[in-house]
Structure 1
Amino acid sequence: MYEVFQHYIEQQATLSPSESDRIRSVAVIKKLRKKQYLLQEGDVWKYNAFIAKGCLRTYSIDEKGNEHVIGFGTESWWMGDRESLLSGAPSRYNIDAIEDSELVLFTKANFDLLTAEIPAFNEMVNAILQRSFIASQNRINATLSLTAEEKYLNFIQKYPGFATRIPQAMIASFLGMTPETLSRIRTQTLKKK
């Protein structure tokens, strides 16, 4: 699975063979079965995780036992709890596999060394962080300003493959609505086509 990550890196940055070898030397491959945790609430997150294969979700559970999906990740996406990684505080989130998945992990210490040692890698990481910040802003704006139907249409437009890979109840949670509301919206949307 490292080859998937290697291909991703080659599309993002120009590296020398020795830089590529250095990155590979600190990478750890992690396989998850469907429903297996990558991170559990209360644990400290210590990695930068690249998804080479599969689909994962980040979510929290409130005091009533309700799940609140914060985000999804699929091939060529990065996953983790940045707050826990940077602060060393226990995570408020769970991350588990929606499908059998394979990841490439880097400890924080090794990742920091790579960004210090390899300028092109550092530039790639900064670009990823900027895109992530913009995506978070867009998600907040959509949550605050769109109707339930607009949220769903926006979701399927931005993430067309997700609707077939992710259970509807998880999508509903991500969009901040009940599964029943999502089912009704999906039915209405199909009738309009």
Structure 2
Amino acid sequence: MHPHFETYLQTHTTLLPENIQRVSSMAIRHTLRRNEFILSTGEICRHKVFVISGMLRMFSTSADSSEHILQFAPENGWTLDVESYDKQIPSLVNISAIEPSVILCWTKADFTSLLSDIPQFKSFADQIVARNIYYNRQRMLTMLSATPEERYESFVREFPGYLLRLPLRMIAAYLGISIKTLTRIRHTQLLRS
């Protein structure tokens, strides 16, 4: 069993103990090294992933080798390439560990079975999906309309703990700005304080 995950479900859901045990028992635990991939571009995403410890990132790489980070998944976070998982088509993104991480994975068949057999778990999963849709819409609006300074300030407000865990190049890749621009913004803010 997976005590950390079971505590997470007890805290965030109203699932009965036997249902928590069932969801937990179907998970496969993996330990990842720093920079280890769990999904590479071109592969089919076959698992839903929950992060017990560490942090993952979902990203794509352009022809010029620049990285574009779509999501960070820290402890108690979920991640997958939704389109690849749902349609069982090759992924356009990578998912890898930023730091040593412990994750739980469910196969599509197992997770689908859990969703159909445990209505409360399906409701919980739907809430997570809805929350991600809302967050991604807000992030897209910010990326389209905010200045680089406003994007950085929003990032700091939303994820204050990430600043100590992430290299600046990853923060810049998430914000869609160059490392030079990010360094300038941070320097300007330091001078103001």
Q: How does 1:87-126 map to 2 (within 5 A)?
A: 87-126=87-126
Q: For the Cα contact (< 8 Å) 1:38–1:96, is it kept in 2?
A: yes
The answer as to whether partners of 1:2 and 1:52 remain within 8 angstroms in 2 is: no
**CA distance, structure 2, for counterparts of residue 150 and residue 169 of structure 1:** 18
Bigger CA drift: 36-45 or 5-14? 5-14
Aligned to 1:186: 186
Matched residue, 1:168: 168
User: Alpha-carbon deviations, 1:31-56, whole Å to 9, x = none?
Assistant: 10001101111110011100010011
CA apart distance, 1:119: 1.4
Tell me the SS of whatever aligns to 1:86: helix
* Equivalence for 1:59: 59
Q: Which whole-Å CA distance do the structure 2 matches of 1:183 and 1:53 have between them? A: 29
Structure 1 residue aligned with 2:133: 133
Deviation at residue 17 of structure 1 after TM alignment: 2.6
Counterpart AA for 2:124 = M
The structural deviation recorded for 1:141 is 0.5
Q: Does 1:13 align with 2:13?
A: yes
Taking the aligned partners of 2:122 and 2:50, their CA distance within structure 1 comes to 15
Residues of 2 paired with 1:110 and 1:81: CA distance?
17
Give the superposed CA RMSD.
Answer: 1.1
Residue-pair matches, total: 193
Report SS of the residue matched to 2:160. Answer: coil
Q: Which stretches of structure 1, 4 residues or more, deviate above 3 A after TM superposition?
A: none
Stretches of structure 1 that go unaligned for 5 or more consecutive residues are none
How far residue 16 of structure 1 moved from its aligned partner, in angstroms, is 2.1
Q: Distance in 1 between matches of 2:187 and 2:139?
A: 24
- Indicate the residue corresponding to 1:80 in structure 2: 80
More divergent stretch after superposition (63-72 vs 118-127)? 63-72
**Residue deviations 1:24-78 (CA, integer Å, cap 9, x gap):** 2211101100011011111100111000100111111112222111111101110
| Shift in Å, 1:174 | 0.7
Q: Which amino acid is the alignment partner of residue 106 of structure 1?
A: W
Gapped regions of structure 2 (runs ≥ 5): none
Distance 1:47 1:67 in 2: 23
Structure 2 Cα separation of the partners of residues 9 and 17 of structure 1: 9
- TM-score under structure 2 length normalisation: 0.97
